[in-house]
Copies of this chain bind each other. A is one copy, B any other.
Amino acid sequence: MRKYRGHAKLVLKPGSTKEVSKILKYCNDNMLAVVPQGGNSGLVGGSVPVFDEIVINMSRMNNIRFFDEVSGTLVADAGCILEVTDHYLAERGYIFPLDLGAKGSCHIGGNVATNAGGLRLLRYGSLHGSVLGIEAVLPDGTIVDDLSKLRKNNTGYDLKQLFIGAEGTIGIITGISILCPQRSKAVNVAYFGLESFEKVQAAFREAKSQLSEILSAFELMDSGSQDFVAAVTKNKRPLEGEHPFYCLIETSGSNSEHDNEKLEKFLESVMEKDIVSDGVVAQDETQVRSLWAWREGVSECSGHWGGVYKYDVSIPLQDMYKLVEETRARMDAAGLMGSGSSHPVVGVIGYGHMGDANIHLNVAVRRYDKVVEKELEPFVYEWIKERNGSISAEHGLGLAKKNYIGYSRSEAMIGLMKQIKRLYDPVSPPSFSLGFEG
């Protein structure tokens, strides 16, 4: 988003947990600010040295420490790249229980620190459930060694949970232990067009009921998002004709024949019930990838005209798409959106993870403009607060949203979070509040 430019005089690349401990102890004793950095793929400025922080980059800690082929338990350094880790697991018939667009550069330690959700949360669940153990270093250098390989251990408080989603503000994660599911032998993908968001909801209900245990993704893309991908990639669209909404369904299972039968029955029934207007099922691996490209390409393509304001939010399902419509109407009413270069806004689109009630609102612009920003904020945040949604479903707070936490959390909850921050990081100046940013 070109929003944050880093300035750092010193980048440290520790090679071991002990080195991380020594660095943090030294910095803590000498009141030197640090910012932990994984693959630097975050979207909220959390890993950027925006002041004068020392960068602690984890990329040298990238070893797989242990893998058990019976239980699927993996223990690995925080700096392992997600895609590399997943390839390691693929060779052994397993899959990392998380997948996201930035997999080629993001670190698994960063994924855990930011509680990444990604494309298959619907199937594999939250990291709070799949992470078995964590090794982390507290600000004063204390090493928290909680790298359990056990699926069940009810002996005292589950402190590792605090580090999942804390974005490195109470400690730096140096290693994780995680339960990996078996990789599915059969993967099927369908892409279809729908008339309204009501029909998208109906299709989702049907998919949950009919595809149930094999449903691994249910993704939503509006027509604007697909127009962007078509305009930028010039690829042939998967369906003839235009539809206001598109969905991508992925199934993963152990028996290709069974899954095909279920998916075809599902498509038949939703076409018959007039829920879906048109649809296509991938016939081979190449088609699976090309259909996914219409979902995975949205983020990059919407930045094509110069820039994009991105909001990654969670809203109770029935209201989810209204945010996009109302934001679009607002841009229109303010005269900011149009095809000529005098209009800063190219378009307002919505897409995301239907299965998690998680939508990405993207406002594609020709240039970043304070006038656009003023129309967007606090409007978007207030809209979400009114509906008890979350202003950050996946991306975290970082620097971008550190002042907006009050839109998604009560004063009382923020007070309790500050207690925890003070407990683990008493030296940090109070101006850092919760310390998000890094």
Interface of A with B (CB < 8 Å)? 68, 70-71, 93, 114-115, 117, 121, 125-126, 128-130, 142-146, 148-159, 161-162, 164-166, 170, 182, 184, 201, 204-205, 208-214, 252-255, 258, 261-262, 314, 316-318, 356-358, 388-397, 401, 405, 408-410, 412-414, 416-417, 419-421, 423, 434, 436
Interface centre among A146, A158, A408 (most CB of B within 10 A): A158
> A355 — nearest CB in chain B belongs to which residue?
B151
Query: Do B201 and A70 touch (CB < 8 A)?
Result: yes
Query: Do A254 and B262 touch (CB < 8 A)?
Result: yes
* Residues of B with C-beta under 8 A to A143: 412
Query: Do B159 and A417 touch (CB < 8 A)?
Result: yes
Query: Do A146 and B413 touch (CB < 8 A)?
Result: yes
CA distance A414 to B143 in the complex (A): 13
Distance in Å from the Cβ of A139 to the closest Cβ of chain B?
A: 13
Query: Do A254 and B314 touch (CB < 8 A)?
Result: no
Cross-chain contact of A156 among B208, B253, B434 (Cβ < 8 A): B434
Distance in Å from the Cβ of A314 to the closest Cβ of chain B?
A: 5
Q: A158-B165, A254-B209 known; A314 and B152 CB under 8 Å? A: yes
Query: Do B128 and A161 touch (CB < 8 A)?
Result: yes
* Residues of B with C-beta under 8 A to A210: 254
Cross-chain contact of A413 among B145, B255, B405, B417 (Cβ < 8 A): B145
Interface centre among A68, A157, A258 (most CB of B within 10 A): A157
Distance in Å from the Cβ of A183 to the closest Cβ of chain B?
A: 9
CA distance A204 to B243 in the complex (A): 47
Cross-chain contact of A162 among B161, B184, B253 (Cβ < 8 A): B161
Q: A161-B164, A209-B254 given; name 5 further pairs at CB < 8 Å.
A: A70-B205, A128-B129, A150-B393, A156-B405, A159-B413
Distance in Å from the Cβ of A291 to the closest Cβ of chain B?
A: 21
CA distance A423 to B424 in the complex (A): 12
Sort A-B residue pairs by CB-CB distance and give the 8 closest, nearest first: A129-B129, A161-B161, A212-B254, A153-B390, A152-B393, A258-B258, A155-B408, A125-B129
8 A–B contacts, CB within 8 A, in A order:
A93-B209, A121-B151, A121-B152, A125-B129, A126-B129, A152-B393, A182-B212, A214-B254
Distance in Å from the Cβ of A106 to the closest Cβ of chain B?
A: 15
CA distance A394 to B154 in the complex (A): 6
* Residues of B with C-beta under 8 A to A408: 153, 155
Distance in Å from the Cβ of A147 to the closest Cβ of chain B?
A: 10
Q: A154-B390, A161-B128, A255-B262 known; A145 and B410 CB under 8 Å? A: yes
CA distance A401 to B184 in the complex (A): 40
Query: Do A144 and B393 touch (CB < 8 A)?
Result: no
> A419 — nearest CB in chain B belongs to which residue?
B423
> A420 — nearest CB in chain B belongs to which residue?
B157
* Residues of B with C-beta under 8 A to A159: 162, 413, 416-417, 420
* Residues of B with C-beta under 8 A to A390: 148, 150, 152-155
Q: A71-B317, A258-B262, A389-B150 known; A409 and B182 CB under 8 Å? A: no
> A185 — nearest CB in chain B belongs to which residue?
B212
* Residues of B with C-beta under 8 A to A170: 157
Cross-chain contact of A414 among B156, B208, B395, B421 (Cβ < 8 A): B156
Query: Do B154 and A397 touch (CB < 8 A)?
Result: yes
CA distance A71 to B261 in the complex (A): 25
CA distance A244 to B332 in the complex (A): 74
Distance in Å from the Cβ of A380 to the closest Cβ of chain B?
A: 14
CA distance A204 to B68 in the complex (A): 14
Distance in Å from the Cβ of A61 to the closest Cβ of chain B?
A: 20
* Residues of B with C-beta under 8 A to A410: 145
> A115 — nearest CB in chain B belongs to which residue?
B154
> A214 — nearest CB in chain B belongs to which residue?
B213
CA distance A148 to B128 in the complex (A): 15
* Residues of B with C-beta under 8 A to A434: 156
